[in-house]
Structure 1
Amino acid sequence: MSFQQQQLQQAFFEQQISGHSIFIKLNDGEFVAKSYSIENNNEQNFYEWIQNIDGYQEFFSQYNGVVILEKNQEISKQETINSQQKWLNSLISKRYNPNNKKYLLLQNLTQNSQNLRIIDLKLGYTVEKQSHIQRYQDSTSSKIGLRICGMKIQENNELVLFKDKHWGRTISVEELIESIKIFFSLKNRNQILKEAIDKIESLKQFIISNCKQVISWQGTSLLLIYRDDNDFKIKLIDFSNTKMDLESTQINTEIIKALNSLQDIIKQI
């Protein structure tokens, strides 16, 4: 899919709270474009495979193919500077490549959100990349299969809390649990907690039934998203390190164990 430069408004995605890739919001914000390395087609391959499974949109961003964005297009930035925006500006300065034209076109999971709450939980107890092994062993990942990569809470549409991945690598299990409690500190808390447990259970069953071909979920995160209109959803994201074998008939259980761990924490809140 290709967009004409003069017909396309582009802005850096102001709701991004984690990751290495750059997200660009397009036009009215219905879609976001995610940059990716030409040398690594894992994420594109994953989305092209998963979109053929009925019901995938409940647990994954809707995938709309590859979009070509013209280089040198001026991209607007947020004028408001807060802790999240400072983090995002730093990411943009390090990672944004104006010569990169190829992006994955994905559903904007936060469009028209009011008083948004997001938490990004990296899933898994282990990691294969040698340079990341110590990081995992020193973090909550090795203990409960979860690590906070980003967290944002808005009240009255103002940012009241933002935490980044560097903080998430240093906290204890107890601090992670307390952060999840803060995320769920809502008036309708009991209803949303039950909904979270049920949605995670449905996700586990979806993976068990449909994802035997995914032999590694390395680097995958689970987003918990709550909006002020009592809309709560969970979405799996980040598949650049996901490995697939279309001949596989055995489920990779590590992601299931991580989701079990999250369910146990939520049940104790």
Structure 2
Amino acid sequence: MSGYKELEHKAAGHDGTLTDEDGLLIFKPLNEQELQFYKDVQQQSVANQDKEEDGDVPLESWIPVFLGVLDEGHNVPKNLSKDVQIVDGGEDLVGLVMHKEDQNEVDTREKRFLVLQNLTAGFKKPNIIDIKLGKLLHDDNATEVKKQRLLEVSQTTTSGSLGFRICGMRIQANERTSNLGIDHHELQPDGEYIFINKMFGRTRTPSDVVDAFETYFANSSLNIERRGTLKKLFFQRLQLFYNTILNSEVRMISSSLLFVYEGDSSRWDSQNDEDALISDDFIDYEDDEDSDSDELPSKTPLSLMALIDFAHSKVTKGAGYDENVIEGVESLLNVFAKLNEPSI
């Protein structure tokens, strides 16, 4: 698609995910099961609005904002509130058709994309880690060859022992990254960032996985107090997320938790180190009604945690919580309890 570019800030995942010029949205090649999951979660969230107990965080609050579906060849309008047409009827946000300048133009739709919130939008120096959840890494539709391959991955990594695995990081180089093995990382072209690949995560063990997270948080641009704040915030988020999953009837295979934090100290200064546990606001038209700017308004936290990747996920009403995911979150809680232990 012209006018779009490959998503730069990512720690893992497949190629083909694009972003717009402003970097506010991402366009992910459409997977029908993932689309259905987004629709079902949105519908479920609307249905449960009056039933949620005080303090409960709905599953929708942890996933990227879903804006619809884009067909290749269409342009993204500057003002989504005016130029987007909802299609497929009903009360659900099912799809978006982006208007063309010439409505009579022959439409050759070769690819479709999910239109999602870009979780790194607004960050000056995003530091990212992708953590795959679950011991079971394949669904029933996988071929026998793929099942055996993923079973071996689970059995030989922390996916099997802990219920989660680090899939990758994209972080600013720090004092710890210089100790990484040559097969586990590569310096990015900008000379500032390090990409830590999937082989790093596959070679972690229960005994050194805490140290891997220390590497993620060892940002040389942030003082020790700010690093400590980040560890505490992510621990609290995991605790809230644990309760969310206990109250969610879903099955998620190969979904990930994505952590992002700001590595630019000037943004910490400008926000007086204030950060929200949950960042629900992405596009807020009410705050921007009098603005003449064509840019979409957005609010950027100093850090966030999100649940991503739902190509093998589904809402399973009446089935109870997802034990495969819960075990991984419990292990992460243990890791972050250790990260937050006072130093002697």
Q: Is TM > 0.5 for Structure 1 vs Structure 2?
A: yes
Q: Where does residue 176 of structure 1 map in the other structure?
A: 209
Structure 1 or 2, whichever has the larger Rg, is 2
**SS of the residue 1:119 aligns to:** strand
**SS of the residue 1:173 aligns to:** coil
The counterpart of 1:255, out of the listed 325, 330, 344, is 325
Assess, with a 3 A threshold, how the Cα gap between structure 1 residues 45 and 160 changes in structure 2: closer, same or farther: same
Show the 5 A alignment for 1:66-105. Answer: 66-70=69-73, 100-105=110-115
Q: State how far apart, in whole Å, the 2-side matches of 1:183 and 1:190 are.
A: 12
Q: State how far apart, in whole Å, the 1-side matches of 2:59 and 2:133 are.
A: 19
Q: State how far apart, in whole Å, the 2-side matches of 1:104 and 1:234 are.
A: 20
Q: Tell me the TM-score normalized by structure 1.
A: 0.77
Contact 1:22 1:35 (C-alpha < 8 Å) held by counterparts: yes
Deviations 1:147-187 (A, max 9, x none): 11110112698534211123322333334321201112252
Question: Which amino acid is 1:258 matched to?
Answer: G
- Residue 51 of structure 1: how far off its partner (Å): 2.1
Q: Where does residue 91 of structure 2 map in the other structure?
A: none
1:241 corresponds to 2:312: yes
Contact 2:41 2:60 (C-alpha < 8 Å) held by counterparts: no
- Residue 100 of structure 1: how far off its partner (Å): 4.7
Q: Where does residue 205 of structure 1 map in the other structure?
A: 243
Deviations 1:204-238 (A, max 9, x none): 222222x21x1x21101000110133511110111
RMSD between aligned residues: 2.3
Q: Where does residue 79 of structure 1 map in the other structure?
A: none
1:194 corresponds to 2:232: yes
The counterpart of 2:256, out of the listed 214, 221, 243, is 221
**SS of the residue 2:155 aligns to:** helix
Q: Where does residue 133 of structure 1 map in the other structure?
A: 151
Question: Which amino acid is 1:226 matched to?
Answer: Y
Q: Where does residue 34 of structure 2 map in the other structure?
A: 43
% identity of equivalent residues: 28
Assess, with a 3 A threshold, how the Cα gap between structure 1 residues 32 and 160 changes in structure 2: closer, same or farther: closer
The counterpart of 2:128, out of the listed 118, 126, 130, is 118
Contact 1:21 1:34 (C-alpha < 8 Å) held by counterparts: no
Contact 1:21 1:35 (C-alpha < 8 Å) held by counterparts: no
The counterpart of 1:61, out of the listed 57, 61, 64, is 64
Contact 2:245 2:322 (C-alpha < 8 Å) held by counterparts: no
Question: Which amino acid is 1:261 matched to?
Answer: S
Question: Which amino acid is 2:111 matched to?
Answer: K
Q: Tell me the TM-score normalized by structure 2.
A: 0.61
Q: Where does residue 268 of structure 1 map in the other structure?
A: 338
Number of matched pairs? 229
Deviations 1:55-110 (A, max 9, x none): 54531100011111229xxxxxxxxxxxxxxxxxxxxxxxxxxx851010000000
> After the TM superposition, which segments of 4 or more aligned residues of structure 1 sit over 6 Å from their partners?
none
Contact 2:132 2:256 (C-alpha < 8 Å) held by counterparts: yes
Deviations 1:231-269 (A, max 9, x none): 1111011110113333x2411122122111111111112
